[in-house]
């Protein structure tokens, strides 16, 4: 069974990241890296993590630029053998299609999955409407942009647990849905305004769950996953 949990390496410290990979590689399906590691160490961090045991790397840089610049970014990232990468769906159809076309130059076993971000989990309806000027509800905005992404050839989308069900209903069974904002209960929040539980997300149709420092700092990864209900009900992490 494919492991559903992606561990977010939320650190700029290379030694800490490598240690987390060695500790967790048997328990998770992939490792997510973002600006903290890549700005500090460059994309050369990727082969180092792979050598430490990271079979799959999820590069979360959320590309958002003119089509040619994004295509170049996808090309360079794909050279490092990343499994999945993100871009902002609000970049528009030309940008999305340029990213997809660039990825298709790589052989099928080397081609990265490209998933789109529509509304960040740190945003709520007030910010979306009154600060960003978007008249739609969060759900309407996410469905509209996500459908644009899938129609443009993307492999999937990113969302919070609160939107998994509605996106699955509107996108169908095939697209990948990566879920962030995973918490032990429905009341446990931080800088993310929209969050939910692991079991809720999986039941609603999430393909993968992103979890960060809860796993990185856990002395016992199996116990940490069990606290989210992942092992106790037979769901493989």
The tokens describing 158, both together, are: 């990113």
Active-site annotation, residues: 62
**Which H or E run contains 109?**
none
Residues in contact with 130: Cβ distance below 8 Å, sequence separation at least 6, in sequence order: none
Long-range contacts of residues 153-156, Cβ cutoff 8 Å, at least 24 apart: 153/96, 153/97, 153/100, 153/101, 154/96, 154/99, 154/100, 154/114, 154/115, 154/116, 155/84, 155/113, 155/114, 155/115, 156/113, 156/115, 156/116, 156/207
């Amino acid at each position: 069974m494919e492991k559903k949990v992606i561990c977010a390496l939320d650190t700029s410290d290379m030694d800490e990241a490598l240690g987390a990979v060695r500790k967790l590689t048997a328990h998770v399906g992939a490792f997510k890296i973002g600006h903290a590691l890549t700005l500090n160490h460059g994309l050369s961090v990727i082969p180092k993590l792979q050598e430490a045991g990271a079979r799959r790397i999820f590069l979360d840089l959320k590309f958002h630029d003119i089509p040619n610049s994004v295509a170049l970014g996808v090309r360079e990232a794909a050279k490092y053998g990343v499994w999945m990468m993100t871009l902002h769906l609000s970049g528009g159809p030309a940008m999305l299609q340029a990213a997809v076309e660039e990825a298709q130059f790589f052989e099928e076993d080397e081609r990265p999955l490209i998933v789109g971000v529509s509304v960040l989990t740190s945003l709520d309806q007030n910010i979306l409407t009154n600060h960003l000027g978007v008249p739609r509800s969060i759900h309407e905005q996410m469905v509209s942009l996500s459908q644009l992404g899938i129609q443009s050839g993307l492999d999937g989308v990113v969302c919070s647990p609160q939107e998994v069900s509605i996106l699955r209903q509107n996108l169908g069974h095939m697209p990948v849905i990566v879920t962030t904002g995973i918490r032990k209960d429905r009341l446990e929040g931080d800088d993310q305004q929209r969050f939910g539980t692991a079991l809720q997300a999986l039941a609603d149709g999430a393909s993968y769950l992103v979890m960060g420092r809860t796993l990185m700092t856990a002395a016992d990864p199996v116990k940490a996953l069990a606290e989210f209900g992942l092992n106790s009900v037979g769901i493989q992490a």
